[in-house]
Amino acid sequence: MTDAAADAIPHTDPLGLFDAWFAEAQASEPNDPNAMALATATSDGMPSVRMVLLKGHGAHGDGEGGFVFYTNAQSRKGGEIAANPHAALLFHWKSLRRQIRIEGLLEEVTVAEADAYFHSRGRESQLGSAASDQSRPLDSRRTYMDKVEELRAWIGDGEIPRPPHWTGFRLAPSRMEFWQDRAARLHERRQFNRAADGSWSSCLLYP
């Protein structure tokens, strides 16, 4: 078997494989290796997509793997998640010529998790999130900045309370696909599918 025909993506635990690829991206990607496209849809299937940041991954309380991001639950994405918890993620690491697609159901993180992450952020980021009516119309940037300053003056040096609508979501993967660039566009793709018992099967896909 020649090198060109050898599998670069093995059949293995896909969560462990994600960990390995993510570690390589953190070492090689110049900006935001944790950036991922998040695709959601309304209850009638109208899609939308935007970039968010992965803020946690791996096993949680029930031992299952998950991918965590944080947002305003009153934003457009928050409304779509409430109406339809099915979502998809895409990581694209140009420096490694790799991508990973992940599909599954979203669930809200615990209050303790949301509190802990909110208060781990920089103070300016906390103020900006607390003052933002995310996704709602804004007449001018000055209005938003004035709200930030009003909140700063009201709170002073005190702790900034996490708004109840600022929370996080965890995607529990049911399907994961790993893509590796190959010469002459003879790329490699392996799809993993999760069974009801939690085990994973996989197969290669034509590029």
185 is an active site residue: yes
- Catalytic residue, chosen from 121, 162, 182, 185, is 185
Q: How close are the terminal C-alpha atoms of the chain, in Å?
A: 20
Give every CB contact of residue 77 below 8 A, 6+ residues apart in sequence: 38, 40, 48, 50, 71, 135
Catalytic residues: 185
